[in-house]
Amino acid sequence: MKSVLVIHYSQSGQLTEIVNNITNPIKNNNTDVTHVTIKMKEPFPFPWKKKEFYGAFPDTFKQIPQEVENIPDHVLNKNYDLIILGYSIWYLTPSLPTTSFLHTEQAKQLFNNKPVITVIGCRNMWIMAQEKMKKKLKSLNANLVGNIVLADRHINHISVITIAQWMFSGKKERFLGIFPKPGVSQKDIDESVKFGPIISKHLQKNDFQNLQKELLTENAVKIKPFLITVDKRANVIFSKWANFIHAKGDKNTPKRQFWVKIFNYYLLFVIWFIAPIVFILFLLTYLPLYGKIKRDKVYYASVALK
């Protein structure tokens, strides 16, 4: 009998539906699947209020852990053949509840010497968040064997509008009746069941060496080269902002809250005015950099860590 642990954090329920669809085909007479939801001692709100949403930026990006609820002993003390870790992206980083859990002693115990598959549900930029996740899993002595990414397929500026409406209203619906529904398409969520049999096959053989290669044949990861460029540059800028804001005191100090508001305005300016310029520059350098772009696509679709 194989044993699988599925652990994730979801505010809206979208990631829950994704990990359930992927893991349902794994459940059979030969496999026991345990689901655990990461719970914060001080839960984040959903729908978000803007103050809390932007206020979460510095600690999220810097991966400063907050307290999480303990996992029950009967779950913690079980020996698992595979861990499936689902996470969403906050500020180009795995969500703060996810990174908070991965900082715990319980995570060290669970992940030590275990094969791990990451499942990402996000808007569009996930590349550098996954690089951070790779490093964290390595520090936990875990072995990343697979990665599945379900992202919003709509163009960047459309998804900015629809995701913001969803986050601040809590309603996953067509904004103004003209915009598409926010988040990962229901079609992609429904079709994610196709990954389950692939995972199950490798699990039963206890051989995950070629798992990611097979997952990629089913389009488990789609790389958009332009977003690699944006993600990398944005991480450099976010690092400066996060350090600057964090140095202004704790989250309730007026000085820090003031600079969080400034960061909010800056972020909107970058999205609507700077990002299009970066896209034009990317197109102008695409051919000269084609070789590097091709290599980057192969690397970021893999589970390797440079």
The per-residue pLDDT for range 255-269, each reduced to its tens digit, is 999 999 999 999 888
In which band, very low, low, confident or very high, does the pLDDT at 291 lie, cut at 50, 70 and 90?
Answer: very high
| CATH level 2 (architecture), domain 2-223 | 3-Layer(aba) Sandwich (3.40)
Which pLDDT score, from 0 to 100, does residue 175 have? 77
For residue 285, is pLDDT > 90?
no
pLDDT at 223: 95
Give me 9's structure tokens.
Answer: 């954090």
CB proximity list for 262: less than 8 A, separation 6 or greater: none
| Residue 216: predicted pLDDT | 98
Q: Is the peptide bond before 47 cis (omega within 30 degrees of 0)?
A: yes
Tell me the pLDDT tens digit for each residue of 49-91: 999 999 999 999 999 999 999 999 999 999 999 999 999 999 9
Percent of the chain with pLDDT over 70: 100
- Domains of the chain, residue spans: 2-223, 228-296
